[in-house]
Amino acid sequence: MKKFHICPNAYYNYKKDKKQEYRKEKAYIQRIMVAKYHREEGIPGYNMMRDYLENENGIIRSALTIHHYMKELGLRSIVRRKKPGYKKGVANKIFPNLLNREFDVKKPNLIWCTDFTYMPRPDGTKRYNCTILDLCGREVIATLNSNHIDAQLAIDTLRIALDRRKPAKGIILHSDQGSQYTSKDFNEFCEKNIFSKV
């Protein structure tokens, strides 16, 4: 430094100021990153964050730099599982609504109702349930779980109800017009077991 006639104190003060300026700029960028991260509900990774900064704020940094900044802040991209694609089935047969919202039934084993529901699991997957209840007293007479929401689940649940109650000929089974209940397999099972389907 003496050769270039530079005072050591001036040189070190210059370096100190440069670091201070760098820290201020870094803190400013990180504040923007935190705001964007929470605004996007934790989705952005470092590549997406780099694009946000460049396109919305004109801040250009390498992906590696943004990665380091996010790591310092403890920001990690939240990976959301894709929802399983639901394939809508084709109805084999559409039935008239014989019940017509008359749900007050005085005797058991005259009208049963059935429907599907699902239960989410911690890992993001679903467990499906089919339940049949007797409109007289709203008693659940059969319920069954499966990994698949299909006609087989409806058939297996109905089989349990039939084995338990052994209803007389002509009982009405009320459901929505979902493809599981209008499928050929399910309706053939109902016909063999002497059911009126609603």
Alpha helices in the chain (DSSP H): 8-39, 46-57, 63-73, 151-165, 179-182, 184-192
pLDDT confidence of residue 44 = 85
Q: Which is nearest to 136 in space by CA: 158, 109, 163, 99?
A: 109
- Give the pLDDT mean for 98-110: 71
pLDDT confidence of residue 6 = 62
| 1 token code pair | 């430094």
Q: Report the percent of the chain where pLDDT is more than 90.
A: 33
What is the rounded distance in angstroms from the CA atom of residue 40 to the CA atom of residue 49?
Answer: 10
Structure confidence at residue 64 as a pLDDT band (50, 70, 90) = very high
Structure confidence at residue 86 as a pLDDT band (50, 70, 90) = very low
- For 163-173, the pLDDT digits (tens) are 999 998 878 88
Q: Which of 88-92, 94-98, 194-198 has the lowest mean pLDDT?
A: 88-92
pTM (predicted TM-score) = 0.50
Residue spans of the domains in the chain: they are: 8-73, 111-197
Crossing angle of helices 63-73 and 46-57, rounded to 10°: 110
Q: Does the structure show a pLDDT above 60 at 97?
A: no
- Coil vs helix vs strand at 138: coil
Contact 118, 129 (CB under 8 A): yes
Q: Does domain 111-197 have CATH number 3.30.420.10?
A: yes
Contact 113, 130 (CB under 8 A): no
- For 6-34, the pLDDT digits (tens) are 666 655 665 666 678 888 898 999 999 88
